[in-house]
């Protein structure tokens, strides 16, 4: 067992900070890095943005506003907001893109180290027979390394923003 947030690694780093220097997720939310499509939606504790990686147009990120690196470090308030927010974002993706499914995966590593947790909500259309699905689909998309065209990202972000009621 690797220990707890205050286990052998000492105090949980960055858990109480709103932003951590060098964290891509924090820098995107703070506007320090370019974010195609801009912020899509915000609650008191969460933000929704379009994914900056190669997972396709309409793949959205749901992440806590404060820097959190482990699921068990979410506050009661963050936890209460999360389920309804994931549902609402998946519904908005469905309304805008009409996918066969919306995958929801928790990601939290960069370079083998836990980083700012974020849920990836990815619209998926059933692939041709024998095509990859699930984590194999995401791995194949990363292997190709082709981010979606900026125009598509901005259009989907605007449409999802409208469905969710805008950026608050």
pLDDT in tens, 90-111: 999 999 999 999 999 998 877 7
Q: Is residue 1 part of a domain?
A: no
Residues 6+ apart with CB under 8 A from 137: 103, 124, 127, 131
pLDDT in tens, 137-163: 877 778 888 888 899 999 999 999 999
Tally the domains of the chain. Answer: 1
Q: Is residue 3 part of a domain?
A: no
Question: How many of the other CB atoms lie within 10 Å of CB of 142?
Answer: 12
Q: Is residue 143 part of a domain?
A: yes
Structure token digits, residue 30: 């703070």
Give pTM, 2 decimals: 0.81
The CATH number of residue 33's host domain is 3.30.428.10
Q: Which helix (H) or strand (E) holds 45?
A: none
Q: Is residue 12 part of a domain?
A: no
Range of the structural domain that residue 54 is part of: 28-163
Residue 38: pLDDT band with limits 50, 70, 90: very high
């Amino acid at each position: 067992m690797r220990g707890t947030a205050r286990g052998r690694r000492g105090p949980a780093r960055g858990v109480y900070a709103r932003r951590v220097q060098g964290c891509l997720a924090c820098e995107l939310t703070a506007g320090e890095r370019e974010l195609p499509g801009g912020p899509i939606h915000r609650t008191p504790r969460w933000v929704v943005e379009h994914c900056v990686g190669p997972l396709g147009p309409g793949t959205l990120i749901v992440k806590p506003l404060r820097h959190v690196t482990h699921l068990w470090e979410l506050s009661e308030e963050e936890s209460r907001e999360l389920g309804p927010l994931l549902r609402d974002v998946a519904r908005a993706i469905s309304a805008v893109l009409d996918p066969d499914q919306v995958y929801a995966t928790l990601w939290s590593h960069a370079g083998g180290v836990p980083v700012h947790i974020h849920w990836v909500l990815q619209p998926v259309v059933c692939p041709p027979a024998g095509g990859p699905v699930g984590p194999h689909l995401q791995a194949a998309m990363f292997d190709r390394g082709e981010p979606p065209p900026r125009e598509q990202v901005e259009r989907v972000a605007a449409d999802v923003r409208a469905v969710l009621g805008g950026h608050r």
